[in-house]
Structure 1
Amino acid sequence: MTGGRKRRLLADTTPLREPHFRRLWVAGIVTVVGAQLSVVAVPQQVYEITRSSGYVGLTGVFGLVPLVVFGLWGGALADVMDRRRLMAITTIGLSVTSLLFWAQAAAGMDNVWLVLGLFAVQQAFFAVNQPTRAAIIPRLIPGEQLPAANSLNMTVVQFGAIAGPLLAGVLIPTIGLASLYLIDTVLLMATLWAVLALPALPPTGHTKKAGLGAVLDGFRYLSTQKVLLASFVVDIVAMVFGMPRALFPQIANETFGDPVTGGIALGLLFAAMSAGAVLGGVFSGWLPGVRYQGRAVVVCIVLWGLAMVGFGVAVGFASPDSGPVLLWVALAFLAFGGAVDMISAAFRSTMLQQVATDEMRGRLQGVFIVVVAGGPRMGDVLHGATAAAVGTAAAAAGGGILVVVGVVAVCLAFPALLRYRVGPARTGDSVSA
């Protein structure tokens, strides 16, 4: 392979030449590891207390409500406040919440409602933090670098989602679950450092208040952008029907032989999707050359659904006595799903950042984070309840089938998504549907 072809295949690192973006990106490498420790710790603690995937699925309810309310309000805040200040406030809030998680776990309270309540508070801070962070990126780097920047950011997130669960699988039996929350608290200081180093980022639009009217203005604007609306809907379909993570504690315990308190199979299940996503990010140099980004999103989500079908089938044939082969088959399907999901997410983020004006970008990023983070929470509820009725394997495989059917329905309802294309990756190119 020639040097030029390698550069087109491997990730484009041009955005890292901008010092503010580079600091945020580097800080994210350690911060997301800590965040993913908590991603494993919360459902695992709920499962230890209750021994029920139904209760684990309730994390979806307690996460979804604050994500919707504060995600929409946070997006409006990002359009009327200095985005640097808002990022700093929410990062501190996330740190304090992680510290409270550690305190309750270290004290051995074993109160599932306290855990779920803290999770709701954490998700409220997260819901304001993430749209603000995403709205900052187009203010730091040129538009033609956005696909590469989004791919780099998602690669870091997914790297943490590998390292975090694997570390959790090792650390829970050795230093205890409570320590995971404390590590998350400490590592969040890296992001706070990067945020405080940013320049002032005052609002550029005319909206002065982040009230209900501003939120509704964002929805009215979104209703005129059919391509963005369709991209949100297909992601909801993919995550609600096709995200089986609420089943992982039960699958690890009952199918692959982990102890109830968690083990290596649990860590591998949580890490597998992210392992695939990192590989997708490393070999993402070709993304800026894709002009029909809407079609790419549709293909990726169909492949995601098929991967979840394969995962469910592998789980259905596996048992604690079947050996590790089917575990690795199940992990391979999850990894493939993670790779195509990363590509889909990079394109969807780029489409939003290119189409939306800066005045509306925060509000649309708020809707985006409600969809991206809220969809999996709804999926947690659906999969937890379905698994209680028909078993984990059928819940996972059936959800994958519904993803494929749902994506076809969305394409029929929003044909503009398949027509969406961008011009060559040069400054000033137009975007059209």
Structure 2
Amino acid sequence: MKLLIDTRPLRSSPHFRRVWVGNVLSMVGGQLTVVAVLYQTWELTADPVAVGAIGLAQAVPLVLMGQVGGVLADAVDRRRLVVATSLGQVVVTALLAAQAFAGLGSLAVLLGLVALQSAGAALGTPARRTFAARLLPADQIGAGLALINLGFHVSLLVGPAIAGFVVAGWGTGACYAVNALTFFASLYGVLRLPPLPPDGTAARPGLRAVVAGWRFIVSRPVLAGAFLTDLIATVLAMPISLFPVVNAEQFGGDPQTLGLFLSAIAVGGITAGLASGMATRSRRPGRVMLVAAGMWGLALAAFGWAPSVWLALACLAVAGAADTISVISRGALVQLVTPDDYRGRVSAVEDVVGMAGPHLGNFRAGLVAGATSAGVAAVSGGVLCVLGVAAVAVVTPALRRPVRPGKPHSSPVGP
């Protein structure tokens, strides 16, 4: 039974349970908006450059406002911050619905609203990331993060499928409206929380607080090593941009096969999440993270070499499973070794690393594939990932050591 996902957080903490259920519903609604924005942009422009601009409209506010959100999370009541930013996202999503129902047809308005929604998420996410460490005892933090990650992968499978039906039946405006409603489910769980001010000395908002957060990370080899491992795995081995080329070069370009590539990663992630019990109970989350990141690289190298569709899909499923275990273990490690008065700023950096790495990795993969082939890009990236992770493991022995639960964080909030 220890192999299965640890559900103790849902049983032991009503606060965490309500927040988790609300988050899952909100994430499913968020996937409806992702699909609706893609569909509406393509309908307005039929231009792949315009579709690519969606990523830019999301990325810039995330990077800039994420740092602000991290400082605010260490300066004010985190519950109030998440409530305020969630209400802002409700308003922006309602405006997305309004412009779609009105048939405004303006790409600038659409991208502007997407940027505002991204900014709201960036302001609130660092504070939201601290909830598991404040609501759960130390030995359940990893399990709580595994449940959150599982909910995310489920939303990736369920949300786009629902969005397809909603867009076909009622249009993109209905997708935005449903997402606005799901925010209220998330708000309910947060509103039931007690006040959650940061422990210790509250940060004073400003550039000095941002710099202090980065200095703290650099001074802690475990944190720096964890973030470097994530960058190595994503920058060197991110495969998404290679999928269309691999599909065309090796498997005939069937669009159904392309869709299966994406689904295989999600299926692997869900499977690993359901069987994450051993990983989340480990007292050496850093070691688990390093092994999983290495497996991610090996699986993607094998994907680039795979001679058959089914073997390629199996490799991607293994990669998705390894990625899930790596994300869960890194998240638990970061929360356990970070004092509560720095958790917001450290979580903000974690968000930036988690967002920037995949974008850079897809860019690298495209450059290498253009100069050689998609297979070479995948294999070389996977091998370099394994070598990079091994180097981090050698030069950062603290990552391989046990973590003492409970030392750096406050007592969990009771029901």
Q: Same fold (TM over 0.5)?
A: yes
* Residues 279/353 of structure 1: CA separation in 2 closer, same or farther (3 Å cut): same
How far is 1:26 from its partner? Answer: 1.3
Return the offset for 1:106: 4.8
- Separation in 1 of the partners of 2:140 and 2:347? 18
Matching of residues 349-428 of structure 1 within 5 Å: 349-383=331-365, 396-412=378-394, 414-422=395-403
User: Which amino acid is 1:13 matched to?
Assistant: T
TM-superposed CA distance for 1:108, in Å, is 5.5
For the pair 1:222 / 2:217, whether they are aligned, the reply is yes
* Letter in structure 1 aligned against 2:63: V
CA contact (8 A) 1:163 1:271 kept: no
Q: Quick check: 1:276 aligned with 2:268?
A: yes
The residue aligned with 1:15 is 9
| Count of matched residue pairs | 405
How big is each residue's C-alpha offset from its partner over 1:52-74, in whole Å with a ceiling of 9 and x where there is no partner?
3x655544443332222211211
How many percent identity over aligned positions? 39
- State the shift of 1:400 in Å: 3.3
CA distance in 2, matches of 1:217, 1:69: 17
* Comparing 116-125 and 244-253, the one that deviates more: 244-253
Asked if the contact 2:294–2:386 (Cα under 8 Å) also holds between the matched residues in 1, the reply is yes
Q: Among residues 48, 61, 74, which one is paired with 1:66 in the alignment?
A: 61
In 1, Cα distance between the equivalents of 2:392 and 2:339?
A: 25
Q: In the aligned structure 2, how far is the partner of 1:265 from the partner of 1:30? A: 29
The answer to whether the 8 A contact 1:94-1:122 is kept is yes
Q: Which moved more, 1:188-197 or 1:384-393?
A: 384-393
Structure 1 residues 113 and 330, CA gap change in structure 2 (3 angstroms): farther
**Structure 1, unaligned runs of 5 or more:** 1-5, 259-263, 318-324
User: Cα gap change, 1:104/1:303 in structure 2, threshold over 3 Å: closer, same or farther?
Assistant: farther
Corresponding letter in the other structure for 1:149:
G
Contact kept? 1:300, 1:340, Cα under 8 Å? yes
8 Å contact kept, 1:79–1:363: yes
SS in 2 for 1:190: helix
2:200 pairs with 205, 209, 226, which one? 205
CA positional deviation for 1:305: 2.1
Alignment RMSD (CA, Å): 3.3
Task: State whether residues 142 and 281 of structure 2, in contact with CA within 8 Å, keep that contact through their aligned partners in structure 1.
Answer: no
Matches of 1:351 and 1:241, distance apart in 2: 22
1:401 deviates by 4.0
Decide which of 180, 183, 186 is 1:185's aligned counterpart: 180
Letter of the aligned partner of 1:272 in structure 2?
A
**Pair 1:302 & 2:302 matched:** no
SS at match of 2:344: helix
Per the TM alignment, residue 114 of structure 1 is displaced from its structure 2 partner at its CA by 4.5
* Deviation by residue 1:80-128 (Cα, 9 ceiling, x = unmatched): 1111110011112222333333444555566555544433322222222
Letter in 2 for 1:361: R
1:348 maps to 2:330: yes
1:12 to 1:155, Cα distance in 2 relative to 1, 3 A: same
- Cα 1:387–1:93 change in 2 (3 A) is farther
For residue 179 of structure 1, report the CA deviation from its aligned partner: 3.6
Structure 1 residues 245 and 98, CA, compared in 2 at 3 Å: closer, same or farther? farther
Note the 1:36-75 alignment, pairs <5 A: 36-43=31-38, 45-46=40-41, 49-52=45-48, 56-75=51-70
Determine the C-alpha separation between the residues in 2 that align with 1:93 and 1:385.
38
What letter corresponds to residue 348 of structure 1 in structure 2? R
Identify the residue that residue 320 of structure 1 maps to in structure 2.
Answer: none
Counterpart amino acid of residue 124 in structure 2: N
Shift of 1:31: 1.4
Q: Which amino acid aligns with 1:274?
A: A
**In the aligned structure 2, how far is the partner of 1:194 from the partner of 1:253?**
46
1:26-48 residue CA offsets vs partner (Å, 9 max, x unmatched): 11222111122333444555566
3-state DSSP class of the match of 2:277? coil
1:368-402 C-alpha deviation (Å, 9 max, x unpaired): 11112332233454456666776766655554344
Contact 1:165 1:268 in 2 (8 A): no
Question: 2:412 maps to what in 1?
Answer: none
**Could you tell me how far apart the structure 2 residues matched to 1:177 and 1:391 are?**
37
Equivalent residue of 1:421, what SS?
coil
Per-residue Cα deviation, 1:245-286 (whole angstroms, up to 9, x for no partner): 45668888996544xxxxx76765444322221211111111
Is residue 2:314 matched to residue 1:332? yes
Do the aligned residues in 1 keep the contact of 2:234 with 2:361 (CA within 8 Å)? yes
The SS at the match of 1:286 is helix
Residue type at the aligned position of 1:14: R
Shift in alpha-carbon separation, 1:191–1:251, aligned structure 2, 3 A: farther
Secondary structure of the residue aligned to 2:130 is helix
Displacement of 1:184 in angstroms is: 2.0
Structure 2, unaligned stretches of length 5 or more?
Answer: 410-415
Q: Name which of structure 1's ranges 332-341 and 264-273 shifts more when overlaid on structure 2.
A: 264-273
Contact 2:28 2:159 in 1 (8 A): yes
CA 1:221/1:428 → structure 2, altered by over 3 Å: closer, same or farther? closer
- Are 2:73 and 1:78 equivalent residues in the alignment? yes
Q: Distance in 1 between matches of 2:111 and 2:206?
A: 28
CA contact (8 A) 1:78 1:132 kept: yes
| CA distance in structure 1 between the aligned counterparts of 2:403 and 2:76, rounded to whole angstroms | 31
Does structure 1 conserve the Cα–Cα contact (< 8 Å) formed by 2:236 and 2:384? yes
Give the match's secondary structure for 1:236. Answer: helix
